[in-house]
Chain A
């Protein structure tokens, strides 16, 4: 007596695909229907919209951009606003500076862009005028800003003082109805209900959301430029090569694939970049230990990370987690760094470095170069 149901060995062989674990079912090679279903399950289907009705109130996020994009802390502030917002609340974002990033994945519903307020400039009166103007129009329940040193923490405190609003700064923990900050230099944790203005420390929020925002860019009449008590006298150029690696904005980093250190140094000089190295290159004695980037070395937050001849061990990738643009030059296209990098060049490091030097020769030229 046998059952009509087909018997399957639950421990039958499998292999891991990008779609997950795939069991091999003998005799089902032609019948791909089930597999397609399996794959369709994981394709990035557009996430549902969070806001499905006309909003009756707002949560406002104000943050500066850098070269058209938000840093991780500002992104977390937008995601936090989207998580805090109830079904009838829209997430409005006031972008100070230009914007090229897509904010729908962070849950932003309406976006106001004030391109005249780049983060390098110091114009608190104009920023305060724009912010109070938008706050007056939207009357948001909460106003969220990242508590950083590029101007948002400053603007948030100015707003709190100007509006006379309740505020909480250096928020380290956020819930739907409460927050926590550290007092007494970190010895005490203080909790309270959500005030009107929240200044968020880094790493308060997970930016992975189950929904998306509408992401509509709205026009608004820019506020009149007020007479300012502040005069911006400029930002002096700094020598990036002399900065500590943690502070550098552009890093040229060398791994095992680099044999010619002077050429690497020249490439770094051409870009005004700091020099870093992977553990192997440091162990070989090509670089000092303080140049090592990775788990046992330094954790860097550069905007651009040019990885030359680095395969990308887990420990190294951990050190460059916060880097925004990673460009890799490697002979092996399947190296782990290629999965992390935004652009991977598959070629010999030495040749590419020489070509880069050649292509950048017109820059920073001296009189001697001109004669040659």
Chain B
């Protein structure tokens, strides 16, 4: 915080949705981004697309935000955000919004419109010499270190080791700034039709053209293929066969 006094960070924050009650709440991923931003700099601005009447926005102040800029909703959220994001060194977001579509597209669209590099799945970041070094989370416990120059967009992974803390006293001390509406209303025609998610998704399958007899047989038959069986030879040869199999499939590199 001390060696980077002028680092300006913007955090893109949406409102989440409590999975049990359905009530609006801060998006958990965005809270992680806010917490990481507060560790890096004292100049952190939160950007939210919506209206300033949403009471759950106050919880972001309780979690440590000081400046909150509310951009009125229009036809293109990413374009509106991108318009407001000039002059920031680092733009942090969560990975998926919990209250909306949750497609994880917004950070990419913002980065593309501002022409900035974007790194997702970030667990940890550090700033050095105008660059940001990021530790990414990959499946199977792998980690990857990546460096990009500032300014950049970074999407924080849900498992980032940040611990946002709620303090009720901070709730009253935040500064909320409403950007005047440009007049463009949100798009009313959507390609999407929504319904309550009650049914389990159906798998996409090939149309069944087989005869009843063939279907019966495919239901009876086990699809277990059974691989090679080695039953002769000394134990040493058999151990070598295992190693040969592993090498052949590039599963070990020695």
Contact = CB atoms under 8 A, between A and B. Distances in A.
A119 to B, nearest CB: 8
Q: How large is the interface on A (under 10, 10 to 19, 20 to 34, 35 or more residues)?
A: 35 or more
Given A190-B194, A234-B145, A169 B105 contact: yes
B19 A83 contact: no
30 contacts: A19-B217, A20-B217, A149-B138, A153-B104, A162-B112, A167-B103, A185-B19, A189-B196, A210-B210, A231-B148, A234-B145, A247-B140, A248-B140, A303-B251, A325-B245, A327-B245, A333-B231, A339-B222, A340-B226, A341-B226, A342-B228, A343-B227, A344-B230, A345-B230, A352-B235, A354-B235, A355-B238, A356-B239, A359-B236, A359-B240
Nearest to A348: B235
A36 B100 CA distance: 60
A327 B142 contact: no
Given A185-B16, A230-B117, A236 B102 contact: no
Contacts of A153: 104
Interface stretch (A25-33, A173-181, A255-263): A173-181
A247 B141 contact: yes
A315 to B, nearest CB: 16
Interface residues of B, number: 83
A271 interface: yes
Interface stretch (B55-63, B173-181, B197-205): B197-205
A271 B252 contact: yes
A21 B217 CA distance: 8
B206 A208 contact: yes
Contacts of B199: 189
Of listed A42, A149, A153, A206, residue having the most chain B CB within 10 A: A149
Given A67-B249, A206-B203, A352-B235, A160 B194 contact: no
Nearest to A71: B139
Interface in B182-213: 191-199, 201-207, 209-210
Contact of B201 (A122, A180, A247): A180
B16 A235 contact: no
A180 B250 CA distance: 37
A190 B239 contact: no
Shortest beta-carbon contacts, A-B, top 8: A355-B239, A161-B112, A342-B227, A233-B145, A346-B231, A339-B224, A173-B201, A169-B103
B201 A339 contact: no
B227 A344 contact: yes
Given A18-B221, A185-B102, A303-B251, 20 more contacts: A120-B142, A150-B139, A158-B108, A161-B105, A161-B108, A167-B105, A173-B204, A181-B101, A185-B98, A187-B196, A191-B194, A204-B201, A235-B138, A248-B141, A304-B251, A333-B229, A333-B231, A343-B242, A356-B239, A359-B236
A191 B146 contact: no
A68 B252 contact: no
Given A80-B204, A161-B111, A184-B102, A193 B191 contact: yes
A14 interface: no
B138 A190 contact: no
Interface in B35-67: none
A232 interface: yes
B137 A233 contact: no
Interface in B76-114: 98-105, 108-109, 111-112
Given A174-B204, A185-B19, A192-B192, A238 B142 contact: yes
Contacts of A172: 201
A195 interface: yes
B101 A233 contact: no
Contacts of A183: 100-102, 194
A283 interface: no
B100 A68 contact: no
A156 B34 CA distance: 26
Given A149-B121, A192-B191, A333-B229, A184 B100 contact: yes
B245 A343 contact: yes
A168 interface: yes
A234 to B, nearest CB: 6
B192 A190 contact: yes
A175 B243 CA distance: 44
A149 B195 contact: no
B222 A187 contact: no
A83 B206 contact: yes
B22 A187 contact: yes
A210 B209 contact: yes
Contacts of B145: 232-236
Of listed A68, A160, A182, A343, residue having the most chain B CB within 10 A: A343
Nearest to A187: B197
A234 B147 CA distance: 10
B147 A231 contact: yes
B124 interface: no
A166 B206 contact: no
A249 B197 CA distance: 34
A213 to B, nearest CB: 13
A363 B102 CA distance: 46
A133 interface: no
A170 B104 CA distance: 9
Nearest to B104: A169
